[in-house]
Amino acid sequence: MAGRRPKPTRLKELAGNPGKRALNKSEPKFSELKSVDPPEWLGDLAVTMWETLMPELLGARLLTVADLHNVEAFCMAYQRWREAEQDINENGLVIHTEKSVIKNPAVTIVNEAKRQMTQFGSLLGLDPSSRTRLTGGAKNEDKGNPFDDF
């Protein structure tokens, strides 16, 4: 399906349904999460990221059980990115072989892990534009005329 992803009904309700369109009442409902421990199979760096992210995501009350795989994938990509960056720091951007100089495979891993972090982070609202999309944007509040004080 081309075009913009539909905003979940719960988010439309939280934003006050600014478009005033009919809400999808048949949308699947998933349980909201209160707390979740990291999966045992995550590595140390992924667990650290999990423990950093989860309080924020749970505090926003937008995370459900259906979103956990996105958090896991983001944390795994984060670990791969950090490990690949460490490899590049230790071995350099290129590897010298007997016959030639080749690109360190960790460079490809870094690029792919960053792409995955961007993708899954966007689904979780971890960048400003997706956060605005998920929360409905800032409310337009009348702050008064800034020149009234003059």
Q: Who has greater pLDDT, 36 or 13? A: 36
pTM: 0.73
The pLDDT assigned to 61 comes to 78
The reported pLDDT for the residue numbered 28 is: 63
Out of 14-23, 39-48, 120-129, give the one with best mean pLDDT. Answer: 39-48
Residue at 103 is within a domain: yes
Query: Is 1 a domain residue?
Result: no
Q: 32: which strand partners?
A: 64
Considering the domain boundaries, does residue 146 fall inside one? Answer: no
Q: Which helix (H) or strand (E) holds 101?
A: strand 101-103
Residue 53 belongs to some domain of the structure: yes
What pLDDT does 59 receive? 86
88 close to 95: Cβ distance less than 8 angstroms: no
As a whole-number percent, the residues of the chain with pLDDT over 90 amount to 49
Q: Does a structural domain hold residue 57?
A: yes
Q: Rounded mean pLDDT of 60-89? A: 93
Is residue 26 situated within a structural domain? no
Contact between residue 78 and residue 49 where contact means Cβ atoms under 8 Å apart: yes
- The answer to whether residue 78 is domain-embedded is yes
Tally of CB atoms within 10 A around 116: 17
Q: How many domains is the chain partitioned into structurally?
A: 1
Has residue 150 been placed in a domain? no
Range of the domain at 126: 40-135
Confidence of residue 34 (pLDDT cuts 50, 70, 90): confident
Work out the pLDDT band at 115, boundaries 50, 70, 90: very high
State yes or no: pLDDT of 49 exceeds 90.
yes
